[in-house]
Structure 1
């Protein structure tokens, strides 16, 4: 396993950090929230103008031709600044899948617009009441040259703002097909949902939505593979974001405890504070090592399900411990919504629940290690 980064990768990480440091300040985040802005449009365009949105887009479609590693480096920095941007759904969930499975026409239409910042992309993977995102209840019925879709998806990020949504559905024979659904298509209804961290989510209801073969991303022969492709990369990208969130939460906590005085000295000098921060540091390093192992294996097209499960488990459990420590050591001010720390707790909780929480990941990992059927009910 190779952990070292190339010069290009380091440059991508540094550029992402520079753009975010300039435009995603605590004051700006508060102002955007007060205005009710669902994402930072100026920052999104700055990412496009800097070439960052096209990092994982093939060169023939206006990008730089990089991949998952570079996306994860950007997402770590996004987590560090809790910047409201649709990077993960656009680049990781939809962009990589389109680059891997899309037709020439689909790639030209959507990836080129993504690289320039003209379009946001997303995918509908979550379902109400199901702990397993691979299990779908959205149905696709073949009717001549058309597909008729019926069903509901919940918690679809940026659905209303996106040019297209990647939607998995199940045929009568039980096989999965991935469709490209435009939000404005007849029969598609979107209902806004509140999220913990302010990310715009929507319930997406499809009622007799008619789609042509041109709107199929992956047919029955490749559908389940494409679905797993999206979920695996989504999980490690949530883990990458969680590392950035946790690192910055700990950094701010160390700074605060150094300045905060009690009984005549800073609380950072108390053993209890020191031990909590040390435990948080070790949790972050565990998160980092597990997720990079998963990223490396996926980038090399190697089987990586145990590594992906382990990475997401650590992101859920260890990430939660770190932000709880940050809140605790800040005392009452940590829970004040006028103080920036609360954003890190809310973002961490959102990442934890996306695509299955720690209990599901651990149960799945246990089933894999026991060489048993991996369909596990943890409800």
Structure 2
């Protein structure tokens, strides 16, 4: 068992950490305040060749592995979680389903612009009445000649305003008395397709979260992604990979909170000595370091299993569940160690705490992860 990163992974980590510290971190606080999407950062990430990192070189990707993807998500999230979630969704939700289930023609047409950064990747599963119960999809896709006509709503869609096309699920018929759900690639500039960006969120203010409204949107039949009736199954497989991204995000945010809490504790004096000398704070910081290490190892294990072509559904759920809950705990403790200053925006840790909450909700709530794990252990 070898815990060392490969030479390539080490190089990617060095490159992205330097980029994150120089290009991403300096404006993170202001972007959060102004809710400004980091467009320029993603232009530069495209120049670095990061936008198609784990996808094949023939489609403009870098041919890297899932561990490398996790490293990039962690480092970006350590600097700015809004940037981290934008990148994670772009790869794991936007590009992955096209890579996994698309035809060669679809990959050439749709995966290439994702890899080059020409389009951000987005994925439409959640609906106003279909959250944890994604099988409750109400969006419909009806065949009319050579086209499919799609009607419905999708909500909480990351990157919707910056995606030139979205992979989404729709009910395409009935089979054995049950909904037949299929996936389609839908251009966002199609007639009848509206992207609404007016959510007011608790955190991740610099990321783009939208509602999609589809009114008689016509797409060619060849925009079917994968096999008809297998859209729901395909998107569950996509979410397994996405959960590795959420786990990596959680590790990055937790790492940033830990580093600020550690630094503050050595600088802040009370009762005649630095607060890092009080055992209560030493224990808090020791627990933070412990839990971050365990979470990162779980993320890497899930990523490694995926790269080996082995089952990783259970481990992806575990890494997402554990890392997200640990992140929420660590960011809260970081605020506590800062005391009153932790409640002030300029000390960053309150932003980490707000950003962390989404990770216990998105891509399957903590409760859903426990359901997945329970099924995987035979319950």
Superimposed CA distance per residue, residues 30-73 of structure 1 (whole angstroms, 9 cap, x where no aligned partner)? 343455422x2222121111112232231112222123222111
Structure 2 CA distance, aligned partners of 1:221 and 1:364?
22
2:31 matches 1:32: yes
Given that residues 12 and 52 in structure 1 are in contact (C-alpha distance below 8 angstroms), is that contact kept between their aligned partners in structure 2?
Answer: no
Structure 2 CA distance, aligned partners of 1:132 and 1:249?
33
From 63, 81, 89, the counterpart of 2:79: 81
Give 1:245 deviation, angstroms.
0.9
Matched with 1:216 is 224
Go from structure 1 to structure 2 and tell me whether the alpha carbon gap of 1:290 and 1:96 turns closer, same or farther (over 3 Å shift).
same
Structure 2 CA distance, aligned partners of 1:113 and 1:20?
23
The alignment covers a number of residue pairs equal to 369
Structure 1 CA distance, aligned partners of 2:242 and 2:79?
20
Matched with 1:102 is 102
From 288, 293, 312, the counterpart of 1:285: 293
Structure 2 CA distance, aligned partners of 1:54 and 1:367?
33
Go from structure 1 to structure 2 and tell me whether the alpha carbon gap of 1:45 and 1:311 turns closer, same or farther (over 3 Å shift).
same
* Greater shift in the superposed pair: 143-152 or 126-135: 126-135
Give 1:134 deviation, angstroms.
5.4
Superimposed CA distance per residue, residues 65-119 of structure 1 (whole angstroms, 9 cap, x where no aligned partner)? 1232221110010111015432112111121222222222322223322333222
Matched with 1:304 is 312
Given that residues 82 and 347 in structure 1 are in contact (C-alpha distance below 8 angstroms), is that contact kept between their aligned partners in structure 2?
Answer: no
TM-score by length of 1: 0.91
From 179, 193, 199, the counterpart of 2:184: 179
Q: CA RMSD in A?
A: 2.0
Structure 2 CA distance, aligned partners of 1:204 and 1:289?
36
Q: Which runs of 5+ in 2 are unaligned?
A: none
Matched with 2:64 is 66
Given that residues 2 and 296 in structure 1 are in contact (C-alpha distance below 8 angstroms), is that contact kept between their aligned partners in structure 2?
Answer: no
Matched with 1:335 is 343
TM-score by length of 2: 0.91
Go from structure 1 to structure 2 and tell me whether the alpha carbon gap of 1:110 and 1:226 turns closer, same or farther (over 3 Å shift).
same
Give 1:2 deviation, angstroms.
5.2
Given that residues 126 and 155 in structure 2 are in contact (C-alpha distance below 8 angstroms), is that contact kept between their aligned partners in structure 1?
Answer: yes
Q: Which runs of 5+ in 1 are unaligned?
A: 373-379
Given that residues 164 and 189 in structure 2 are in contact (C-alpha distance below 8 angstroms), is that contact kept between their aligned partners in structure 1?
Answer: no
Structure 2 CA distance, aligned partners of 1:357 and 1:268?
35
Matched with 1:4 is 4
Go from structure 1 to structure 2 and tell me whether the alpha carbon gap of 1:41 and 1:284 turns closer, same or farther (over 3 Å shift).
same
Superimposed CA distance per residue, residues 132-175 of structure 1 (whole angstroms, 9 cap, x where no aligned partner)? 44553322223333222222111001101111111122222223
Matched with 1:375 is none
Given that residues 25 and 80 in structure 2 are in contact (C-alpha distance below 8 angstroms), is that contact kept between their aligned partners in structure 1?
Answer: no
Matched with 2:137 is 136
Give 1:346 deviation, angstroms.
2.0
